[in-house]
Amino acid sequence: MFRQYFRRITPVMNPILVLAFACFAVSSAYVIQDRDGEEYYLAPLHRQRRQTTGFDISKEANGGIRTSANYLGTIFNNGVHRLVGGASISKEFRPSGPLSVAGQLGYSHIPSRSGLNIDVQRTSRGGTDFSATGNANLWRNGNSRLDAVGSYTRHYGGPWGTGRPNYYGGLQFSTRF
């Protein structure tokens, strides 16, 4: 049953699911070893704060009514590493529009302010949008810093087919006066 379900997932979703499961496994269990070499997996007993970030009903320009719900929560935070996950869903009624479902996963290294964000949005009959952005601190001195930045976006499926990837990378220098 599960094998049939995972075959139907688009190719872009497979790496995202693997990354999400790996991040969850790393953030939710600790491995310890006793004197005899036996390994034990310990689950943390603390809970992270999760919050609903919004529920909205709005009137669209075409006279339709759109409902949406967003959720964002911290999966793991130990003061050095932070993993945040979120999901959203929206639907337009009168006239009936497509259902749109999205998910996001963000990692940040707090001391260096480096991070990686992955977003996926699936719209029925419209395809899937995938984006990944990241930055890594290369140098820091006082109020000045040099970061490597990058982004990748691509649209998969839908009536217009799979689009070409858009990506960029570069260096970003910033200073505070």
Q: Is residue 44 part of a domain?
A: no
The angle at the Cα of 63, spanning 58 to 67, to the nearest 5 degrees, equals 30
Q: Is residue 141 part of a domain?
A: yes
Give the model's pLDDT for residue 4.
47
Q: Is residue 89 part of a domain?
A: yes
Residue 161: which of 130, 126, 132 has the closest Cα?
126
Q: Is residue 17 part of a domain?
A: no
Q: What CA–CA distance (Å, rounded) separates 33 from 51? A: 35
pTM to 2 decimal places: 0.66
CA distances from 14 to 8, 17, 125 (A): 10, 5, 20
Q: What CA–CA distance (Å, rounded) separates 143 from 69? A: 39
Task: Find out whether 171 and 148 touch, Cβ atoms under 8 Å.
Answer: yes
Q: Is residue 65 part of a domain?
A: yes
Q: Is residue 82 part of a domain?
A: yes
Where the chain has pLDDT below 50, the residues are 1-13, 17, 22-29, 43, 45-46, 48
Q: What CA–CA distance (Å, rounded) separates 71 from 77? A: 17
Residue 176: which of 145, 149, 148 has the closest Cα?
145
Q: Is residue 6 part of a domain?
A: no
What range does the domain containing 150 cover?
51-175
Q: Is residue 16 part of a domain?
A: no
Amino acid at 101: V
Q: How many CB atoms lie within 10 A of CB 105?
A: 20
Task: Find out whether 158 and 127 touch, Cβ atoms under 8 Å.
Answer: yes
φ/ψ of residue 171, rounded to 5 = -110, 145
Number of domains within the chain: 1
Give the model's pLDDT for residue 42.
52
